[in-house]
Chains A and B, each alone.
Chain A
């Protein structure tokens, strides 16, 4: 019995709903409520303001602090030796790395982690780019400034939750109330038909999609689900009226439940008809989240969506322990999931319109604790999609030598470029004009380059 329970709660084979319909003696009219009204609303909400084309960003957050220093690795002998000395037992074997050929030579050669053939292929096909050594910064810093404590560094460096917030907020010394994608979406009229938010996260929560006006909609990886009790129109009216509270906390719950019902009215039926990309995605949490993103993108024209930012994430990257066993599994899942997502975008002809990218709270220490690595600062991010100027590294690789100019201790790397610059590059592609980009990233002017170039 137990095994059939979740299935029974899904749309179409809904045991709960059948019970209620039977018990309440409802007529067929009860079952007819809902989805039809929503299509009308989509068309009536279309206006002439705002973008005409479609673009979407997809943030893949690697929770725990990914050891990206083992994702992109120098393979030329001199550079590999420095890497190997710095990483000790954590170093990837030179022969295990999958070679890549960046278009802009920097004197070294590179490979990606052996578990990532999909990333290698995307890079070589010009659809994936690396941004080396990026992290939260208020302004560019030198090692001396950090070590003497004379310059402003982001608060509570190396703490998981603080640096997760710093990446999503991209305003290291500002308030933590809004995320960069939320602020960006605030500036785009008619990005998505109300009540569907243009900021959609799959299962995960965070500040990235929180704006002054835009609030994220959190969709499950298995899709949208109707509230079973709303099947009877009389009861539906009672529930709509009951979802209010004078208590501030209970009202936030009630608002979430109201929105969940309204958005299911809008998208539930349409989503059921979306391609399900069976067999394409890995059966992991990340794979299934990205599959749901692909399904949502596939119905964007039916819904009348012009701009969307999706937020997905996967954990387990905090590899203090057992890193040699865990990291290949984590990277394998990442690479397969991204490869599958890109395949899905090709299938539905959206590759040019959709750009994915990674965030992770920090890179890790180059040095080993004997079982793994500890919390660092800078790490490598990647961007992927048809519009990405791929097959290149955008920014200098950090000096990996212990006690070198980029090592502020135990192989914690001082970021060479900021999250703000990385986000601003994506925001410009998304369609924001330069002055708006500056408003979204208030510290952008502190940095020499306001566009890292990987979006053309």
Chain B
């Protein structure tokens, strides 16, 4: 946000009626270190402007202002480039510039630029978290061949980040990218002549991953146990078979539904939600999750509504997905009480509405455990920064300007991670991943699954490269990515303690360990402050920042 936007947003937020009856004046002073920690959870990296805003007006005003910022979308740019039609259902053949593979690259660049520069940071960060739950990946051929459709899928998550879960689940379910990815598109009722039966793919994963999970949960996220102390499955193979039948008869928009199997099978993704082809829907009765029965004769739309209602009403959804959103934004190991508080908001936002994601996001970020966990449970609080967020964080904290042109496959090579490019619907990492040492302590660290020996070194070397070559003081002429402004570091470089203190505040939100502080200060004292031919303090600034971003201190988002 620009300073002007901040001021406007602040004004708007002061006009928003408060929930309490007594008007609360909010000159909440937030400590700058706390503001950095908060913003590292809520954005792609705490920018100077946002830190100033939060310190001056408080967390809630910042969140309110963010809710008011219009979404930054990716499809409009794809349309402008001529790679997507501007009407739902229209054929890509009408686009002057349609070509899948380069446009996949453009989409990846849009992702980086929005992460770096979009004003709706909270929405973008939550959408990224949602993209790691409602996973669609461009490694799938159908998804890969329609990058504009994929851009619209990501936009669906951006638009839906603060909407209602039931509504978002339907938009995800019927989106052509998801239809292609988990093959619900063209799923049809059993065909006795050909000996085929419905496709179970989406029916299984919508339950295991997008809604309720495998085991019955308590409201605090812990597993319910049966009389033999075993977890209780939420569904069995029969439920999946039946749900697969309920989800038959959907296909991409653009061709008028008919009874022709050939038409049904030859269709391909465009922009626009999937539509029902009634001739291919299984109209028999189905027993779905939680013992609900879908009566015979229901349409594809009615059956879909029945399935999504049953799933979104299931008591597991709040603890199951609420905990994963906490893990994506705040901490890998939230206390059961924290999960319980979020599940409560999920069940009822205060106005009786269930699955209000705006209320859930607000509650996750403002929970006392989110704000104080770094101090009250320092040994276990926090999460590993995702590899690509290490770079967005670095860039945003040091005012990097300019467009990102990093190609998607370079991001893979540097970081082992690429938005919308996970290896499977199980995301880059599992919410349950733990190393043996963590397992012994009852802890998980999802992001640790991709912090492998080869990748931690590769990522560290990439970050070093981005600092050394990509700064405004001494840019490598061949370097075309955004440039870091190291001025604030150079200005403090004559005094290593002051330089390290600034890094602690600005990069780590005041969570630097005493050991790291001592080591950095000692090392910087051995690095010359003034070097002929280099800007004053340049060498110390670069040394300090490079060492800090490969440290375990920066690895942890606390």
Whether B186 lies near A371 (C-beta < 8 A) is: yes
Whether B379 lies near A260 (C-beta < 8 A) is: no
Contacts of B208 in A (CB 8 A): 159
Whether B200 lies near A320 (C-beta < 8 A) is: yes
Partner among A160, A245, A318, A369 whose Cβ is within 8 Å of the Cβ of B196? A369
Distance of A63 Cα from B422 Cα, bound (Å): 13
Whether A225 lies near B480 (C-beta < 8 A) is: no
Inter-chain residue pair count (beta carbon < 8 A): 259
In the complex, identify which listed stretch (B151-159, B282-290, B514-522) lies at the interface while the others stay far away. B514-522
Given known contacts A1-B479, A220-B458, A257-B460, A177 and B555 CB-to-CB distance under 8 angstroms = no
Complex interface residues of chain B between 401 and 415 (CB less than 8 A to chain A) = 405-407, 410, 413-414
Q: How far is the CB of A221 from chain B (nearest CB, A)?
A: 8
Contacts of A220 in B (CB 8 A): 454-455, 458
Contacts of B551 in A (CB 8 A): 242-243
Complex interface residues of chain A between 1 and 17 (CB less than 8 A to chain B) = 1-6, 8-9, 15-16
A410 interface contact, C-beta 8 A: yes
Whether B380 lies near A249 (C-beta < 8 A) is: yes
Whether B460 lies near A241 (C-beta < 8 A) is: no
Whether A23 lies near B454 (C-beta < 8 A) is: no
Q: How far is the CB of A330 from chain B (nearest CB, A)?
A: 12
Whether B522 lies near A321 (C-beta < 8 A) is: no
Q: How far is the CB of A435 from chain B (nearest CB, A)?
A: 24
Distance of A370 Cα from B461 Cα, bound (Å): 48
B257 interface contact, C-beta 8 A: no
In the complex, identify which listed stretch (B70-78, B114-122, B463-471) lies at the interface while the others stay far away. B463-471
- Complex interface bits, A184-207 against B, C-beta within 8 A gives 1, otherwise 0: 000000000000000000010100
Distance of A446 Cα from B355 Cα, bound (Å): 48
Whether A20 lies near B214 (C-beta < 8 A) is: no
Partner among B142, B200, B454 whose Cβ is within 8 Å of the Cβ of A260? B454
Distance of A409 Cα from B454 Cα, bound (Å): 43
A239 interface contact, C-beta 8 A: yes
Q: How far is the CB of B244 from chain A (nearest CB, A)?
A: 8
Contacts of A337 in B (CB 8 A): none
Whether B379 lies near A246 (C-beta < 8 A) is: yes
Whether B196 lies near A177 (C-beta < 8 A) is: no
Q: Which residue of B lies closest to A207 (CB)?
A: B436
Contacts of B18 in A (CB 8 A): none
A299 interface contact, C-beta 8 A: no
Among B182, B183, B188, B558, the one with the most A-chain Cβ atoms within 10 Å of its Cβ is: B183
In the complex, identify which listed stretch (A92-100, A228-236, A419-427) lies at the interface while the others stay far away. A228-236
Partner among B199, B413, B528, B539 whose Cβ is within 8 Å of the Cβ of A371? B199
B498 interface contact, C-beta 8 A: no
Complex interface residues of chain B between 72 and 91 (CB less than 8 A to chain A) = none
Distance of A64 Cα from B426 Cα, bound (Å): 11
Partner among B381, B523, B528 whose Cβ is within 8 Å of the Cβ of A234? B523
B276 interface contact, C-beta 8 A: no
Contacts of A370 in B (CB 8 A): 186-188, 191, 194, 196, 199
Partner among B141, B478, B523 whose Cβ is within 8 Å of the Cβ of A235? B523
Contacts of B534 in A (CB 8 A): 23
Given known contacts A234-B523, A252-B445, A410-B197, A315 and B439 CB-to-CB distance under 8 angstroms = no
B260 interface contact, C-beta 8 A: no
Q: Which residue of A lies closest to B374 (CB)?
A: A247
Contacts of B197 in A (CB 8 A): 367-369, 410
Q: Which residue of B lies closest to A158 (CB)?
A: B237
Partner among B423, B454, B516 whose Cβ is within 8 Å of the Cβ of A315? B423
Q: How far is the CB of B381 from chain A (nearest CB, A)?
A: 7
Given known contacts A16-B464, A19-B468, A160 and B556 CB-to-CB distance under 8 angstroms = no
Residue count of chain B within 8 Å CB distance of chain A: 98
Complex interface residues of chain B between 315 and 373 (CB less than 8 A to chain A) = 332
Complex interface residues of chain A between 251 and 307 (CB less than 8 A to chain B) = 251-257, 259-261, 263-264
- Complex interface bits, B366-399 against A, C-beta within 8 A gives 1, otherwise 0: 0000000000001111111000000000000000
Q: Which residue of B lies closest to A9 (CB)?
A: B461
Complex interface residues of chain A between 404 and 450 (CB less than 8 A to chain B) = 409-410
Distance of A246 Cα from B380 Cα, bound (Å): 9
Distance of A8 Cα from B414 Cα, bound (Å): 12
Whether A16 lies near B196 (C-beta < 8 A) is: no
Partner among A219, A239, A252 whose Cβ is within 8 Å of the Cβ of B437? A252
Distance of A34 Cα from B139 Cα, bound (Å): 39
Given known contacts A9-B458, A219-B453, A409-B237, A367 and B196 CB-to-CB distance under 8 angstroms = yes
Whether A315 lies near B552 (C-beta < 8 A) is: no
Whether A244 lies near B468 (C-beta < 8 A) is: no
A88 interface contact, C-beta 8 A: yes
Given known contacts A156-B233, A249-B438, A251-B552, A241 and B519 CB-to-CB distance under 8 angstroms = yes
A248 interface contact, C-beta 8 A: yes
B451 interface contact, C-beta 8 A: yes
- Complex interface bits, B264-301 against A, C-beta within 8 A gives 1, otherwise 0: 00000000000000000000000000000000000000
Partner among A89, A177, A247, A368 whose Cβ is within 8 Å of the Cβ of B380? A247
Q: How far is the CB of A82 from chain B (nearest CB, A)?
A: 13
Q: How far is the CB of B245 from chain A (nearest CB, A)?
A: 11
Whether B200 lies near A227 (C-beta < 8 A) is: no
In the complex, identify which listed stretch (A39-47, A66-74, A210-218) lies at the interface while the others stay far away. A210-218
Whether A247 lies near B465 (C-beta < 8 A) is: no
Distance of A363 Cα from B215 Cα, bound (Å): 24
Q: Which residue of A lies closest to B527 (CB)?
A: A24
Whether B519 lies near A16 (C-beta < 8 A) is: no
B550 interface contact, C-beta 8 A: yes
- Complex interface bits, B526-558 against A, C-beta within 8 A gives 1, otherwise 0: 111001001000010011001100111101101
Distance of A255 Cα from B453 Cα, bound (Å): 9
B2 interface contact, C-beta 8 A: no
Given known contacts A220-B458, A239-B547, A320-B201, A253 and B448 CB-to-CB distance under 8 angstroms = yes
B94 interface contact, C-beta 8 A: no
Given known contacts A228-B464, A247-B379, A260 and B438 CB-to-CB distance under 8 angstroms = no
Whether B410 lies near A321 (C-beta < 8 A) is: no
B490 interface contact, C-beta 8 A: no
Whether A242 lies near B515 (C-beta < 8 A) is: yes
Q: Which residue of B lies closest to A228 (CB)?
A: B461
B160 interface contact, C-beta 8 A: no
Among A2, A157, A322, the one with the most B-chain Cβ atoms within 10 Å of its Cβ is: A2
Contacts of A242 in B (CB 8 A): 515-516, 519-520, 547, 551-552
Complex interface residues of chain A between 349 and 401 (CB less than 8 A to chain B) = 367-372, 374-375
Contacts of B196 in A (CB 8 A): 88-89, 367-370
B222 interface contact, C-beta 8 A: no
Partner among B204, B519, B552 whose Cβ is within 8 Å of the Cβ of A253? B552
| Chain B interface residues (CB < 8 Å from chain A) | 139, 141-142, 180, 182-183, 186-188, 191, 194-201, 204, 208, 214, 231, 233, 237, 240-241, 332, 378-384, 405-407, 410, 413-414, 423-424, 426, 430, 435-439, 441, 443, 445, 448-458, 460-462, 464-465, 468-469, 476, 478-480, 513, 515-516, 519-520, 522-523, 526-528, 531, 534, 539, 542-543, 546-547, 550-553, 555-556, 558
A-B contact pairs, 25 of them (CB 8 A): A5-B410, A6-B413, A15-B465, A23-B534, A88-B196, A161-B430, A218-B454, A219-B453, A227-B461, A238-B519, A242-B547, A247-B378, A249-B383, A250-B384, A252-B445, A252-B451, A256-B456, A263-B453, A316-B139, A318-B424, A321-B142, A321-B180, A322-B142, A368-B194, A368-B196
- The 9 A-B residue pairs whose C-beta atoms are closest, nearest first, are A220-B454, A218-B452, A321-B183, A369-B199, A320-B201, A254-B552, A370-B196, A250-B556, A260-B453
| Chain A interface residues (CB < 8 Å from chain B) | 1-6, 8-9, 15-16, 19-20, 23-25, 63-64, 85, 88-89, 155-162, 177-178, 203, 205, 210, 212, 215, 217-220, 224-229, 234-235, 238-239, 241-257, 259-261, 263-264, 315-316, 318, 320-322, 326, 367-372, 374-375, 409-410
Since A220-B455, A235-B547, A375-B200 are in contact, a sample of 16 more A-B pairs with Cβ atoms closer than 8 Å, ordered by chain A residue number, is: A5-B414, A19-B469, A20-B464, A64-B424, A156-B233, A177-B439, A224-B454, A238-B547, A245-B552, A250-B382, A257-B456, A257-B550, A257-B552, A318-B201, A367-B196, A368-B195
